[in-house]
Structure 1
Amino acid sequence: MPRVFLPPFDTTFLFALLLTAALTSFGGMAEADTAPETPPKQIEDQESEKEDPRPPSAHGPEYVTVKSSATADGTTHHTPGGGLMPPQKAPRAQSGITRDFIARQSPTESPVALIASLPGVIYAANDPLGTNDDQQGLSVRGLDQTEIGYLFEGVPAAPPLFLTPYTSATADTENIRSITLTQGSSDATAPLYNAVGGQLSVQMAQPKKNAGGFIDLSYGSYALNREFLRLDSGEIGHSGITSFASFSYRDAAQWRGAGHSPRYHIDSRLAKEWGQGSKTSLIFSYNWQRQFYLRAPTKTQWQANGTHFNYTSHYTDGDTAYYLLQENARAQTFIAAPTEFALTKQLHLSLNPYFIYVTGYDSYGTTLDPTGSYQGNQPAGTLQGGTIGKNGLITAVATDTFKQAHSGIIASLRWDYGHNTLTAGTWYSYYDFSNPSRYAAVNAQGGANNMQGHQPILTQTGEPLTSYNSHLVQQVNALFVQERFRALSNRLTLSAAFRAIMVTRTISNALPGARYRNGASYFSPQPQVSASYDITPHDQVFINGTTGFRAPSGISNYNDRFSISTGKQNRSATTDTKPEYSIGEELGYRHTGPVNIAASVFNYNFTNRQISTTSSLNGVMVTESINGGGQTARGAQLEVGLSPWHHFSPYVSGQYIHATLDNNLRSGTDYVPTKGKKAIRTPTFSGSIGLSYDNGHAFGQFSLNYVGPTYSTFMNDERIPSFTTANLSMGYRLKQVGFARSPQIQLNLINLGQPGYLSGVNSVSFNAKSTKGIYGSTIAGRAPTYFVGGGFAGVVSVSTGF
């Protein structure tokens, strides 16, 4: 029988459901008992806030929002570019999106998919609905998603070791207030140690001041059905506490191949403000989702099979490519309590404790020799628990199980004195990661009863058969200090900052024959300087110099590896995996008004450029880093957005980048002649065009994205062609119908006229064709694999506030 995996209704999930019910019922009763009834037509939610005249918080992105009333879905119709170009003041290249744009997209899309139109962003979609976090590619200025720091409400929310953001796990789209992308650098005070490629900051919506709620129902292509419900308590009594809680469920078929991808999600937030500037929140989110991997083709496989290349839909004896064997399930619990105390008018203390717990597994089909397999470098003997197939082998599921507990606290003290602002703080993080692999037998119908690795195949001595059994503990200590000076009536701002990050990793590997204890420590000093000048109230110029650091990602580099079929060691653990370091400079200009312009030029130099890729280890796909040596990147980016004019708001963005490798790369005992070659995953040109319309009732939005040809090998002997994608949304909104506030219907058409295409690089290689090395040896080629961009999809959503 095929495996059936039910959502984990454990104590965490039950607690989340009870919290949702308690918040809304208690809040609703308190509102009814203490507040007079407010006519629905007089209720106006204030999603936006006035610009804060004080210096920006140490933990939040620097942006300006405009105060205005909003519809039930949070749109205000005032952000330039249809929500794609909110005003920015930071002395660095920075872009963002607001509810005006977010609400017009399919509610299935993740934050990574939502930022695809911003300059410098290359989004390699792997499914049209934007739901597949684990199999999508994101790069900014040619740097992949593991090099882009991800902050959710100021918390480093990406898994600390693998650094893939998993942005859909932290919040539903309806609960996201804004997203800010800093291209090329991160805030000096940000709790990140991988942000050489930029910083992605997601802000959650605040609870409403009045009791009510929002419901959103979506249905569409690939049997999509999604239900979302948020309930706001309003002010609870006269306590000043407000809260909301939401629940959503989504399920959809894979856009190619067999299988479904269910997802359960809960968000909640309690908020309290007091005094002059003090505030706190308690944020809780829970996410569970399951999906089946989509097979990444090589160029040859794509040309032969197109979108039909995938895992098989029906099982036959010995078929390791059966889709049910290629499974990923992941559950995440997120808790944070961002708090700011206004100790005096000049002194502010910020604290942000957090805890993230993740469990799950990845599985892949493989075969095992029933009497000739190995446990590390030791014979496993006669395997127990498997059925020998017609090919004489045991068909099995290689399951990579994991548990991750990530806790920490960010603390900073800000002192405003005269024309100066001094910020100093610290960040401490403790991360515990366990990663045993297991093998489960496949029955005659293609099912496996492993259920997250339970009832595994055993060795002759009764131990679970495994390829690795690792445990890692990581501690991060960071200190930062920043001084800002304002002069010339606050038109000139000078800033200098220094951050020091210490990352310590201790790894154990219980596999027979492997080095049991390993570890690494990294230290990185990171100075930053910047200056901005307001030429007029609408014109700003800025310049900055930044440094960045990224610790190696993945645990594979620290473990000895053995072939399960021969027992031979195929890779040695290393303790000298070098971190990536970058030095960058930017010069930019901004203009705000009816026409909004943001332009910048940049230069970056990298040492020990870390390239994230995947490889197979005894049937399991593992993430590892390749040292890409030095790299130089120079380029320019541009954004132009029009404030609403006759209800229309156009938007244009683009980037030119010239990135090259600075040295030859080592392959075995020789070197591949890569010096001067163009960087992988870095198209020279990319751009976007958008047009939105909203007259208060009828609304629509069109976007078109272009990505130039992209190399997938360091030798530049293989690349994917350029491609263009287009999306269209349209809908109609009413003001008030009975209890329903701003009810609307919306249609999203995704990937118009694009039936399938290679959207990005999944795994890279030094060279696709045989190449002569620097010392004359022949270096065999290896074919890269690619993401397949999703086909056309349509989504209809009906929503209303109440």
Structure 2
Amino acid sequence: MFAMLLTVGCGSWTASTLAQDSVDIGEVNVTGQTVGNGQMVQEEAAKARSTVTKEALDKMSPTSNGIDKLKYTPGINVSSDDSTGLSGFAFTMRGMQSNQIGVTMDGIPINDSGDFSMYPNLLGDSENLEEIFLTQGSSELDAPHIGSSGGNIGLVSVAPTKEAGVFIKQTVGSNNLDKTFVRLNTGEYMGLSNYISASKTNSDKWKGKGDLDAEKFELNSMFKFGEGNSINALVKYHKQENFKYVKPSLAQYESDHDYDFPNEPTYNPTTGKLTTASYKTSVNPFETLSTTVTGRFQLRDDLQLTVQPYYYHGNGGSYSAFGSPATLYSTTNSSGNYDLSNLNTSGGYNADGDPVSGRYYRPSWTETWRPGINTKLSWALNDEHTLDVGYWYERARQRQSQPFVPLNADGSPADLWADYEDTNQVRDANGNVVQGRNYFTITPAQKAFVQDTWNVTPDLTLTGGVAYEHSKRDGDMRASLYDEPQKLETTYHKFLPSFNAKYQLNTDNSVFYSVSRAMRTPPNYVLYNSGDSASLKPELSWNNELGWRYATDDMALSATLFYLTFKNRQISSRDQATSDYIMLNVGDVENRGLELEFSGLLPRNFNYYASYTYTEAEQQDGITYFGYELPSKGKQVAGVPKNMFNLSLGYDDGRWYGNVIGKFVDNQYGDMTNDQSIPAFTVVDLNLGYRLPVNKNYMKSAAVRLSVSNLFNREYLSGVDSVAFTSAQYNPTYNSSLPNSATNRSTISTPYYNVGEEQTVAVSLEAQF
């Protein structure tokens, strides 16, 4: 059994630098097992932090993405559409939603620059991951985020090896799963080492019709020169053409646990016109390219400079047709921005004999260009003090459109990739592309920070710092069917201090305390929603942590109490008079709780790992919705389970390994008034593997791996996809027999949920030459 041993230096830095701070000591033959089976390491940071190593990553489901592989880690609740790693997912961490958590991949911020959403297609192949870490409570002081009022997740790629070789892995499984992965290492020559990898994955959806198809490409080059100098370049490319899953309401799920989009479109028997869309238009094509170059330069024995420029480009969209597909006629209200005289009327389309004329695929399309640079200078002033200063700058540009693309006779899109200037898109009489929305946002963001690490004594370390964060939303709302052109800009800036202390009580025990402030810039939609959304204040949070760690050669234990307050919580809502979208400030939230992590070794090559999380995420204010006060004060934040527990029993003798993992997740509310919830559930996973004996002259290693997710084939709802304000009626005068109006308004809205995947099996055969 082989493992790469990593050492992490003091101070905070991004995922890329953590990878650079690894000490390359070659291959080391490790006798015995690691504590936690790779799921837990002895952390040195003076704050809550968990790390999942490559040892544990390799023993999980072979196609899961980086976020999926955190599902047993304390503090985080992950809910995925399926185990392919390609579909949608949601997660919460310490009561914060996924779009409040910063995520980096080798130092690149990969949350959406507009609304901070996270997409699994940005994470690359899990075979190329060395480790995944998360700081559950707060981002690092220098982390390149403007959308993180909660914690931080970092994914670190494996480094190129000194020896040349080829790694091949073939995976097959349930639902016609087929993944082929190949990585070629060139070896090291005159300080330069590289690898290039490629993969192709295809799988049927586990419910409903449609499939998931993705291709990935990665290049990693490392050049080491001089004493402590290196340049690391990474390129990651991903392209997918995926069909989507329905996120059902509770009623839809209870009527049919496999509820999904219709298999085929339906047509009006009288006119022959398409009336109900099928799965064929509910798709998510997307393409991403990310590049980064990290230069690390030892200027003097006591002075080190890290410079990391990066660039990200994303292009794709998503469309879900529930019921009728999009329509467009000459009489469509276009706010005067388009001349639609070249189009037919609804009656004309119904009489023309074409089943799909006037019906369209209308994806919400987004293209992003995102260059940036992160820098850090670390200066060891003396034996007691190390000073870190740095600066991050990024200028993201994002175009969000919504074109109309004709349908084929079978109800499928004439062009799945509805690029901005595509000739298939509907144009008006003047040749202008007709857009349902048409936004262009520029977001310059920057952060400067300074931090001092003071080794007061050999056992006591204090770290204090402050960051200044500044961001701007520069919006251009261009002509569309529903919007008049206008330009608007907003600016946000704050000083964000942090302090932490760690004390080593003795060889085995240490304690820490951490406090930090964070800011989340409002999403770009505040520029385009109605009302006074642009005046929305940023979310501001204070995170406090008190922790204890205990570690010996055969056992590790970590316990953390946390208390997090944040104000100006941002929620999308509807205007009372017009029903247009607006952004609301719904007040303050207090998150408090406990995280436990416990792992160790047992006799006869057995091991164990357990984690427990208790979270109270309490809303501090009532909410006014359509003019009615909703009783949200004192209620649990939707989608946040109070209790989560994971327990794993494993075995590893160097040849055979196996583990069985049980995961319990408490009930989760779907609305902010806690009037509807999904039940608690327990799911069990199984992983087995055999490392084949090989002739080292021809093959370095080989293994067969088996993963079974949801071993007992439990049917359950796994998480909340779309939170509602309330699923109950709080308007006492509402009369359902009267038209919906400003004075007769129903308060009921519908939460939607993720469905837990049925039992799936995946078998992998891998070899390294």
Flag whether TM exceeds 0.5 (same fold).
yes
**Match for 2:167 among 210, 214, 219?**
214
Q: Residue 327 of structure 2 aligns with which residue?
A: 368
Q: Deviations 1:682-736 (Å, cap 9, x if unpaired)?
A: 1110111112221111111221111101111111111111111111111211231
Task: Name which of 390, 393, 407 aligns with 1:425.
Answer: 390
Please tell me the residue identity of whatever aligns with 1:138: F
> Percent of pairs identical after alignment?
24
Alpha-carbon separation, structure 1, partners of 2:177 and 2:53:
25
Q: What is the CA distance between 1:315 and its match in structure 2?
A: 2.2
**Which residue identity lines up with residue 255 of structure 1 in the other structure?**
W
Q: Give CA deviations for 1:510-562 in whole Å, capped at 9, x if unaligned.
A: 22552510121111211111100011122110001111111123x433215xx
5 Å matches for 1:25-174? 47-49=4-6, 51=7, 57=13, 78-132=33-87, 135-174=88-127
Partner of 1:37: none
- Residue 7 of structure 1 is matched in structure 2 by none
1:712 matches 2:670:
yes
Distance 1:179 1:624 in 2: 36
- Going from structure 1 to structure 2, the CA distance change for 1:187 and 1:53 (only over 3 Å counts) comes to closer
- Alignment of structure 1 residues 438-453 onto 2, 5 Å: 438-453=403-418
1:476 aligns with 2:445: yes
Change in 2 beyond 3 A, CA 1:128/1:241: closer
1:597 corresponds to 2:557: yes
Across the aligned residues of Structure 1 and Structure 2, the Cα RMSD in angstroms comes to 2.8
Distance 1:433 1:369, change over 3 A: closer
Equivalents in 1 of 2:192, 2:563: separation in Å? 47
Q: CA deviation at 1:758?
A: 1.1
CA gap of 1:613–1:92, structure 2 versus 1, over 3 A, is farther
Q: Distance in 2 between matches of 1:483 and 1:58?
A: 17
**Partner SS state of residue 257, structure 2:** helix
Give, in whole Å, the separation in 2 of the partners of 1:380 and 1:225: 48
Structure 2 CA distance for aligned equivalents of residues 361 and 285 of structure 1: 19
Label 1:381 to 1:60 Cα distance change in 2 as closer, same or farther (>3 A): closer
**Quick one: which of 686, 709, 718 aligns to 1:728?**
686
Q: Measure the CA separation in 2 of the matches of 1:150 and 1:686.
A: 22
Which residue is 1:791 aligned to?
758
Does 431-440 or 510-519 show the bigger shift? 510-519
Over residues 230-251 of structure 1, what are the superposed CA-to-partner deviations in whole Å (9 max), with x where a residue is unaligned?
A: 0111112xx1111111111110
Q: Please report the TM-score for the alignment, with normalisation by the length of structure 2.
A: 0.90
CA contact (8 A) 1:472 1:508 kept: yes
Q: Give the secondary structure class of the aligned counterpart of 1:636.
A: strand
Partner of 2:461 in structure 1? 493
Q: What amino acid maps onto 2:301 in structure 1?
A: K
* 1:400 positional shift: 2.1
1:345-403, Cα deviation, whole Å (9 max, x unpaired) = 11111111101111112233323252331224657544638993489983211122221
2:299 maps to 343
Please state whether the residue corresponding to 2:222 is helix, strand or coil: strand
1:205 counterpart = 2:158: yes
Query: Structure 1 residues 101, 110: closer, same or farther in 2, change over 3 A?
Result: same
Letter in 2 for 1:675: K
| Residue pair 1:709, 1:719 contacting (<8 A) in 2 also | yes
How far 1:89 sits from its partner (Å)?
0.7
Partner residue in 2 for 1:767: 726
Matched, 1:403 2:353: no
Normalising to structure 1: TM-score of the pair? 0.86
Residue 358 to residue 623, structure 1, CA distance change in 2 (3 Å):
farther
Residue of structure 2 equivalent to 1:662: 620
1:641-679 superposed Cα distances (whole Å, 9 cap, x missing partner)? 114753222000001111211111121334322211221
2:412 equivalent to 1:456 = no
TM-aligned CA distance change 1:435 to 1:55, over 3 Å: closer
Residues 458, 437 of structure 1: alpha-carbon distance in 2 compared, 3 angstrom cutoff: same
- Aligned to 1:313, what secondary structure does the other structure show? coil
1:185 to 117, 125, 138: 138
Query: What's the offset of the Cα at 1:57?
Result: 4.8
Q: For residues 231-380 of structure 1, what are the structure 2 equivalents within 5 Å?
A: 231-236=184-189, 239-307=190-258, 309-317=259-267, 318-365=274-321, 366-376=325-335
Cα 1:280/1:369, change in 2 over 3 Å: closer
SS of 1:158 mapped into structure 2? coil
In 2 relative to 1, CA 504–78 (structure 1 residues): closer, same or farther, beyond 3 Å?
A: farther
Equivalent residues of 1:401, 1:452 under 8 A apart = no
- Counterpart position of 1:565: none
CA distance in 1, matches of 2:159, 2:731: 59
TM-superposed CA distance for 1:48, in Å, is 2.4
Aligned equivalents of 2:412 and 2:219: distance in 1?
37
Q: 1:660 to 1:45 in 2, by over 3 A?
A: closer
Alignment CA distance shift 1:611-1:393 (3 Å): same
Structure 1 residue 580: Cα displacement: 0.9
The DSSP-based 3-state class of the residue aligned with 2:68 is helix
CA distance in 2, matches of 1:76, 1:758: 42
Structure 1 gaps, min length 5: 1-43, 561-570, 616-621
SS at match of 1:106: coil
Once residues 126 and 626 of structure 1 are traced to their aligned partners in structure 2, the CA distance between those partners, rounded to angstroms, is 29
1:609 aligns with 2:579: no
Find 1:650's aligned residue among 598, 604, 608.
608
For the residues of structure 2 that align with 1:595 and 1:721, how far apart are their CA atoms? 34
Q: Distance in 1 between matches of 2:30 and 2:288?
A: 29
Question: Could you tell me how far 1:104 is from its partner in structure 2?
Answer: 0.7
Whole-angstrom distance in 1 between the partners of 2:265 and 2:195: 46
Specify the SS of the correspondent of 1:192: coil
Which residue pairs with 1:514 in the alignment?
Answer: 484
Report SS of the residue matched to 1:575.
helix
Equivalent pairs counted in the alignment come to 733
- Give the distance between the partners of 1:163 and 1:105, measured in 2 at CA: 27
Distance 1:624-1:546 versus aligned 2 partners, 3 A rule = farther
CA–CA distance in structure 1, aligned partners of residues 211 and 637 of structure 2: 36
- Cα displacement string for residues 47-87 of structure 1 (whole angstroms, at most 9, x for unaligned residues): 324x356656566687998998769xx99974321111011
CA distance in 2, matches of 1:773, 1:130: 45
What is the match of residue 543 of structure 1? 513
Shift, 1:494, TM fit: 0.4
Hey, what's the Cα distance between the residues in 2 that align with 1:540 and 1:199?
23
Residue 425 of structure 1 deviates from its aligned partner by 0.7
- Matched residue type, 2:375: A
SS at match of 1:194: coil
1:193-215 deviation digits (Å, cap 9, x = unpaired): 22222110111101111111210
C-alpha distance in 2 between matches for 1:682 and 1:497? 31
For residues 331 and 624 of structure 1, the distance between their equivalents in structure 2, rounded to whole angstroms, comes to 30
Match status 1:416 vs 2:350: no
Aligned to 1:699: 657
Q: Is the 8 A contact 1:749 1:795 kept in 2?
A: yes
For 2:171 and 2:573, locate their aligned partners in 1 and report how far apart those are by CA, in whole Å: 35
Q: How does 1:745-760 map to 2 (within 5 A)?
A: 745-760=704-719
Helix, strand or coil: the match of 2:526?
A: helix
* 1:392-450 residue CA offsets vs partner (Å, 9 max, x unmatched): 98321112222111010001111112200110110000111111211122232112213
Residues 522, 395 of structure 1: alpha-carbon distance in 2 compared, 3 angstrom cutoff? same
Alignment match of 1:532 (pick from 495, 502, 520): 502
Query: Following the alignment from structure 1 to structure 2, what is the Cα–Cα distance between the partners of residues 548 and 496?
Result: 15
Q: Which residue number corresponds to residue 270 of structure 2?
A: none
What SS does structure 1 have at the residue aligned with 2:114?
Answer: coil
SS at match of 1:456: coil
Do the aligned partners of residues 83 and 52 (structure 1) sit closer, same or farther apart at CA in structure 2, a change above 3 Å counting? closer
